[in-house]
Amino acid sequence: MKSYKIRFFIISIFIPLSFIAEAGTDSNGDGLLDKFINSIPENWSGIREGNRFILERTGKILIVYENKINAPNRSDMENTKSRTAIGKKSTMKIIFKIEKKWNDERLSEIKKENNNIREMTAGLEQKYKIGNLYNKQLSRKGRAYFTGTTTEEKYSIRQYESEKKHLDGMMRKIPDYNSEKFSIFIESWPACTDEYHTVYPESACREFSQIKNLMVNYFKGDHDGQ
């Protein structure tokens, strides 16, 4: 049996109990968290740092930034040499923050606060009278852009952006998932293969997808209405 098997066994017993002790709940453990940890791929390990739980894949991955849509045809050997030359070595890890499980009352309260902030944010455009300054071309990048020509218009845009930034900072994150005893917040997902870059070995992204599916299967998600 490989050494990481032993490490997984220790983690599945110790980590949940240590969280429970810190949260002040009973000592029966968290069955869903135990099942999740025991089900992750064998070449992943877990470590706790304070109120954070980190899953990390054993070994390095290679991230190659390339435009796969317009990439030239190359042989497998040429591709391997190119990847090694231009790729960036990294590790694949997932970082979670874990808190004592939120009750329905707290969750409802935070959702209500967030909705109030959204309504205030939605009214900023009218408040600063910048609707006619909306830049459709720049806004294609994923956020609303406003451009002004006069000193007054530029000042209004700055006021809008300043207040919007303040309101955005007031938004409270709600748990991404809940186990039996804990609320789980995703702090960091690893990047995976898309049209602009590729992760090697390809099995790394398959393992990551497997872990995401395990979270959906074992934990209750509450993404709506954040």
The confidence score (pLDDT) of residue 72 equals 52
Q: How many other CB atoms are there within 10 angstroms of residue 88's CB atom?
A: 10
Asked whether the bond before 201 is cis by omega within 30 degrees of 0, the reply is yes
Reference 165, options 121, 133, 129, 122; nearest CA is 121
Q: Which of 126, 99, 125 is nearest to 181 (CA)?
A: 99
Strands (DSSP E) along the chain, which ranges?
44-49, 52-57, 61-65, 88-90, 93-100, 177-178, 182-188, 197-200, 220-221
Is the pLDDT at 2 greater than 60? The verdict is no
The answer to whether the Cα torsion of 69, 191, 34, 45 is positive or negative is positive
- Worst-scoring range by mean pLDDT, 60-74, 132-146, 179-193? 60-74
pTM across the whole model = 0.70
122 pLDDT more than 80: yes
Query: Does pLDDT of 9 surpass 50?
Result: no
Identify the band that residue 4 occupies on the pLDDT scale cut at 50, 70 and 90.
very low
Torsion-angle region of 47 (φ positive above 0: left; ψ -120 to 50: alpha; else: beta): beta
Positive or negative torsion for Cα 49, 90, 203, 223: positive
Q: How confident is the model at residue 68 (pLDDT cuts 50, 70, 90)?
A: low
Q: Whole-angstrom Cα distance, residue 121 to residue 163?
A: 8
Are the C-beta atoms of 23 and 181 separated by less than 8 Å? yes
Give the relative orientation of helices 203-218 and 31-39 as an angle to the nearest 10 degrees: 160
State residue 67's pLDDT score: 60
Rounded to an integer, the average pLDDT of 93-110 is: 94
Tell me which of 15-24, 76-85, 171-180 is least confident.
15-24
Question: Where is pLDDT greater, at 23 or 124?
Answer: 124
Q: What is the band of 25 on the pLDDT scale with cuts at 50, 70, 90?
A: very low
| Mean pLDDT, residues 188-194 | 80
Q: Which of 4-18, 19-33, 210-224 has the lowest mean pLDDT?
A: 4-18
Residue with tokens 């690893």: 190
